A and B are shown apart, each in its own frame.
Chain A
Amino acid sequence: MKTSSDVNTIFAYGNRDDIFNKKVLLFRAKKMKYKYVLLSNVSASFVYTYKDRLSTGCIVIEKAIREEKKKRDSSPSKSYKPSLFSLSENVNNKISEYLVELQRDNNINVKSVRIFIDLLLSDYSIPRLYEEDEAFAEFKEKYIINAEKRAFEVINKFVRFFRRYDFMYIENYQKYDEWKIKIKSSKEQVFDKKRDKEDIEIATEFLSFNEEFGQLEFFTCDKECGESIKKIAKEYRRSVGHIEIIRK
């Protein structure tokens, strides 16, 4: 049997504080003998979102340092020369503020963002980033590349648990565009009135897979996404694998 899941399940798996964490772990354990199919849209969305969260932390550092530099350069007062210690403190405060915001707005595992930032700052200190343009450019390069690598590590860890796995590419599908049109022209109220583009892409891929490569199961923590896929499949009389909605 083949199974698949959405982006939320992988996030829940990687975050111990997530309300779905234990349920996803249990569910995954039950399915460990299945072949896991990593849908192309799921892997791209997960990697991008995870990377985006890590790198946004670094963008905060980048912006804070640039702002401090600008403030110092444009200050008419010659006495405005904060020490590198106070500068570091300002930047660190901004990072903390940002992380609080991030946790509040996105319910994410801030610990991993914090660790990522701290590791980078152990290579490039804030005073060095402030003083050396070359180090600043290297820092930028390093954080965007490393953030993506970290995202791949998490997704790799998730799929490796299954005995076998496979991953898909959009070019593998012949019916992809057809299913996208079908979802968009559905008479049902689905995917937040068809505004949730990310879930629509995942559903399109899932339905195409079922039609072209055989039955595939799907598990999700997102009730709306799961229900919407069921409605679409029913509307177009497409038999699909079991869709499991993991509830709180």
Chain B
Amino acid sequence: MRQAYQNDEISTNIDKFVSVFRYIFDAMFVKNDYNIINANVVLGKLKERELDIKKIESFLAKLPEGQWNFKIFLDNLDELNKIFGISDEYIMKNSTMPTKKGDINNIRWEIILQALVDYTKFSNEFYDAFKYNNNDKLSTAQIKLLNELMLIFKYIKESSKYLYENYSHKKYSQRIFEELNEDRAIIEYFLLRILYVSLNLKKTDNKRIENYAKLLGKERISITTKKMFMPRYC
């Protein structure tokens, strides 16, 4: 099965999904044109990448407009899996060799490890693109949003790399799979959040941009700060 996977018969959806951010960020922070970042255009770009935009659209419409927390992501896991996940049927259909249940788990494990490498690659690219962004026309609100996105991609690149290095040598088991998923889910939560924010931005509205920068910042801090507190007494 490893052979089938390595022959590119089965791939992750990461490239299709995350590469749309290149288009969004280019319009937002380089061309400075928020008019083209409306829901229809972004969804159209996702459609070009063969993602089911009807499902994405109706799913995102159900999510709250205000502050999110990780619980929202956990509560919607089944639907997220249907939209962005890779089904057992897909794996069966694309495998070049006869596939049993146990094989599917092994292939899925390989796909997830590959996804972590993809996350590192993309987030590293986005982080550096933000860091070296030279646009002098950005407002304070836009810079705040850019900085928040930088911090999110910093988190994604560091945590996905760490996870890959820690799990790539391990073999699939249900326990290890669940353990990895707990940390991986945070990465995907942030990507979903960025997509949601991108679909709701308008150029002229600095107040809205600043509000989203604040929401992203607070959500990131509340999820990722466990390590920042150093208790003296426990």
Contact = CB atoms under 8 A, between A and B. Distances in A.
B70 A170 contact: yes
B217 A52 contact: yes
A59 B144 contact: yes
Residue of A69, A140, A163 most packed against chain B (CB within 10 A): A140
B71 A176 contact: yes
A94 B82 CA distance: 52
A162 B138 CA distance: 43
B14 to A, nearest CB: 25
B128 to A, nearest CB: 8
B66 A197 contact: yes
A44 interface: yes
Contacts of B74: 171
Interface string B122-149: 0000000001101010101001100100
A48 B218 contact: yes
A63 B143 contact: yes
Contacts of B154: 145
A45 B228 contact: no
A48 B210 CA distance: 12
Contacts of B175: none
Contact of B71 (A66, A152, A162, A171): A171
Contact of B150 (A45, A47, A144, A171): A144
A233 B202 CA distance: 39
Contacts of B233: 162-165
Interface size range of chain A in the complex: 35 or more
A55 B213 CA distance: 13
Contacts of A141: 131, 150
Interface size range of chain B in the complex: 20 to 34
Nearest to B218: A44
Nearest to B214: A48
Contacts of A140: 131, 147
Contacts of A201: 67
Given A44-B218, A44-B222, A169-B222, A160 B232 contact: yes
Contacts of A70: 136
A156 B70 contact: no
Interface of B: 66-67, 69-71, 74, 131-132, 134, 136, 138, 140, 143-144, 147, 150-151, 154, 214, 217-219, 221-223, 225, 228-234
25 contacts: A40-B222, A44-B218, A44-B219, A44-B221, A44-B222, A47-B225, A52-B217, A55-B144, A55-B147, A59-B143, A59-B147, A63-B138, A66-B134, A69-B136, A133-B132, A133-B134, A137-B132, A140-B131, A148-B151, A148-B221, A152-B229, A163-B233, A167-B229, A173-B71, A176-B71
When A and B form their complex, which 10 residue pairs have the shortest distance between CB atoms, in order from nearest?
Answer: A66-B136, A44-B222, A170-B69, A44-B218, A44-B221, A48-B217, A70-B136, A152-B228, A137-B131, A144-B147
Given A40-B222, A59-B147, A66-B136, 12 more contacts: A41-B218, A41-B222, A48-B214, A63-B138, A63-B140, A140-B131, A152-B225, A152-B229, A156-B228, A160-B232, A171-B69, A197-B66
Interface of A: 38, 40-41, 43-45, 47-48, 51-52, 55-56, 59, 62-63, 66-67, 69-70, 133, 137, 140-141, 144-145, 148, 152, 155-156, 159-160, 162-165, 167, 169-171, 173, 176-177, 197, 201
